[in-house]
Structures are given as C-alpha cells and as structure tokens.
C-alpha cells in the first residue's frame, strides 16, 4: 500500500480528484466540478510551496501551472457569460501531465494558458476601474489601479528641423516568451546619476503584442522627446521589459537594457538583456542569460 508521504500516493490521490472534477464537468454539474477543482488546486499550491520538499523545483512549476488551469476553469464555470477561461477539452489534455508529473518536463505542458490569463486580468482590471469611478463619485476617495494602456508620445514639435531619435522596438527574445501577461516596455532617458531627462514612456499593452516562438514581437515606435544635442554628456536610454504577475497582483520587471550615445546610429541594433533590478547608474550589470536572446531594435533619426 502507498504511504501518504510518498510522491506516488499523493499524485494518485490528485489524479482521482481530477477525474472526479472532469466527470462532474462533463455531466453538466458545475457546482460539484468546482468543488473538486478548488480542492485540488489548493493541494497543488500547498505542495508547490518553497517549504515543501516532496517535489523538485521543476515538478513544482508543473503543479503550479496545473493549479492555474484549474482556477481558470473554475472561473469560467462560475462566470460563463463573461469569461471563457479554458475549455474542458483543454483541461482533459492536462490529465496525463498530472498523472505522469514525476517524469514530465515543463516544456511538455500541453496547454498555453497565457490568453486565458490575459482575459482574466482584463476583466479584473475593468472591475477595478469601475469600482474607482463609483468610489470617486460617492465618497470622493480614490482607489488607484492603473491597467497598462501605454503612453507613447508623438514626435516632439519643439524639435522641428532637428534630428529626433526614434526607437522601433521590434522584438525581444525570451526562453519562456509565451508565458508573460500584459508585457510592455518602459523607455526612459537618464543622466549619469539616474535622473530622468525626458518623459518616461510605456508601450501599449498586450493587444499590441504578438507572440512568436521564443520572441515577443512589438514593432512599436518610441520617439525620444529631446534631440541628442540637448542631452548632457553620459546620458543613456533605458528599456525595461515588464509584465503582470496575477498571483501577486503586481507589475514586475523581468529584464532591462540600455544604449549610450556612441551606440545610437541609423539601422538595426541588438542589445544584451540584463538581470533586474534596473541599475540606472550602470554600475552593477549582470547578463540575464548566456543563451543568444536579445532585444532587437531599429534606430532612425528623422528631421
């Protein structure tokens, strides 16, 4: 007989709960299905914690993703008119992954859940925005919530007749490119002490981003708001890749890079990616990865 503390026993128990949930789901019993899914999701989260040593880090990543899928299915069953979540067919594709989690690899995960997570985040964002409006009208108090909309600026009118640097963010290479929610770039110009020299700009949110293999394709133009001859010696342009983390409900910087003046010339540019936190003084810089993954730009000076 299996022992409760063994991996095999735990996975066997989880698989039984999973099958119970999908059976209820198939039979059109959403309340019972949700109960089974939520029970299993809670258990997966418990065993995925850093203080639990029964499973490896790689296995914990798989368990976390399965838990996210269960949560998304529950949300879809609870709100069928507003949220599609993931389908029962998609969920059933995960069954073999759960059953064989002890021998699975993260790259073998059968469902891309990014689209469903983005939809869930957008619905949550809209609810927060609506709540903000109601609070402002009734209590005169503000509830701050800022979904990513982008604030790219047009070419500065004060620079007419002078060359202005336009940075086209073409794509960024990341080994787990398809997993990021609400990805965007923050672009800023800093002096040697890290102070802003121009308006900080964010690219638009996920509706403007395509996902292609190990790259996120942006193809978005950012106009630097001062001509280069107006900027002080030693300035740099910083590009920070950010994304939304639904579990922590925060926006996080994944990586960053920068360009100094001697790197700015017409044509393509390929920049290395660095580990967070962003160091605006450029004193503590470490590569994100040794793999050949970069930020691809195209620079132009338009008069």
Domain limits, the chain: 7-111, 113-147, 157-302
Tokens found for residue 26: 């198939």
* Least confident residue range of 75-79, 225-229, 255-259: 75-79
Among 189, 205, 207, 186, residue whose Cα is nearest residue 197? 189
Mean pLDDT of 169-181: 88
DSSP state of 3: -
Rounded to a whole number of angstroms, the distance between the first and last alpha carbons of the chain is 78
More confident residue, 129 or 5: 5
Alpha carbon distance 136, 138 (integer Å) = 6
Strand partners, 202: 186
Mean pLDDT value of segment 278-298: 92
Looking at the predicted structure, is the pLDDT value of residue 189 above 70?
yes
| 151 vs 11, more confident | 11
Query: Whole-angstrom Cα distance, residue 101 to residue 98?
Result: 5
Winning range, highest mean pLDDT, from 55-64, 101-110, 164-173, 284-293? 164-173
pLDDT of 147 above 50: no
**HEC sequence for 257-270:** EEEEHHHCCCEEEE
The residue-averaged pLDDT of 179-204 equals 91
- Least confident window among 110-114, 139-143, 147-151, 227-231: 139-143
Q: Any idea which fold 157-302 has? A: Immunoglobulin-like (2.60.40)
Helix (H, G, I), strand (E, B) or coil at 172: strand
Binned at pLDDT 50, 70 and 90, residue 18 comes out as very high
Reply yes or no on whether the pLDDT at 131 is more than 50. no
Task: Give percent of the chain above pLDDT 90.
Answer: 37
CATH fold of 7-111, please?
1.20.120
Sheet with 295-302, edge to edge strand ranges: 210-212, 215-223, 164-173, 295-302, 267-271
207-227: average pLDDT: 82
Whole-angstrom CA distances from 76 to 29, 72, 85, 95, 249 are 13, 6, 5, 18, 20
Over the stretch 243-283, which tens digit does the pLDDT of each residue have? 988 877 788 899 999 999 999 999 999 999 999 999 999 99
Indicate if the pLDDT at residue 150 is higher than 80: no
Q: How confident is the model at residue 53 (pLDDT cuts 50, 70, 90)?
A: confident
Residue 251 burial (CB count, 10 A): 16
- Say which DSSP state 220 is in: E
Helix locations, the chain, DSSP H: 7-26, 30-47, 57-78, 88-93, 95-99, 114-138
Distance in angstroms (rounded) separating the CA atoms of residues 192 and 232: 9
Distances (CA, A) of 48 to 15, 116, 220: 16, 22, 38
């Amino acid at each position: 007989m299996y022992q409760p503390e063994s991996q095999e026993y735990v996975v066997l128990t989880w698989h039984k709960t999973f099958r119970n949930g999908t059976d209820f789901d198939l039979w059109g019993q959403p309340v019972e299905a949700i109960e089974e899914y939520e029970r299993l999701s809670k258990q997966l989260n418990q065993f995925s914690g850093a203080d639990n040593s029964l499973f490896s880090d790689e296995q914990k990543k798989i368990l976390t993703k399965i838990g996210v899928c269960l949560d998304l299915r529950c949300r879809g069953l609870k709100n069928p008119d507003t949220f599609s979540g993931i389908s029962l067919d998609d969920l059933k594709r995960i069954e073999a992954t759960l059953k064989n989690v002890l021998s699975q690899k993260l790259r073998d995960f059968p469902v891309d859940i990014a689209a469903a997570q983005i939809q869930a985040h957008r619905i949550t964002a809209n609810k927060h925005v609506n709540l903000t409006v109601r609070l402002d009208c009734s209590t005169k108090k503000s509830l701050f919530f800022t979904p990513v909309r982008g604030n790219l600026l047009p070419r500065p009118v004060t620079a007419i007749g002078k060359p202005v640097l336009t940075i086209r963010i073409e794509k960024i290479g990341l080994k787990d490119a398809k997993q990021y929610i609400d990805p965007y770039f923050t672009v800023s110009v800093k002096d040697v002490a890290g102070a802003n020299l121009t308006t900080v700009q964010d690219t638009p949110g996920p509706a403007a981003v395509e996902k292609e293999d190990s790259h996120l394709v942006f193809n978005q133009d950012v106009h630097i708001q001062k001509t280069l001859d107006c900027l002080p010696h030693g300035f740099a342009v910083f590009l920070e890749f950010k994304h939304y983390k639904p579990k922590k409900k925060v926006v996080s910087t994944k990586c960053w890079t920068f360009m100094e003046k001697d790197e700015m010339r017409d044509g393509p540019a390929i920049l290395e990616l660095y580990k967070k936190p962003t160091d605006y003084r450029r004193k503590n810089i470490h590569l994100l990865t040794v793999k050949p993954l970069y930020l691809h730009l195209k620079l132009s000076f338009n008069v």
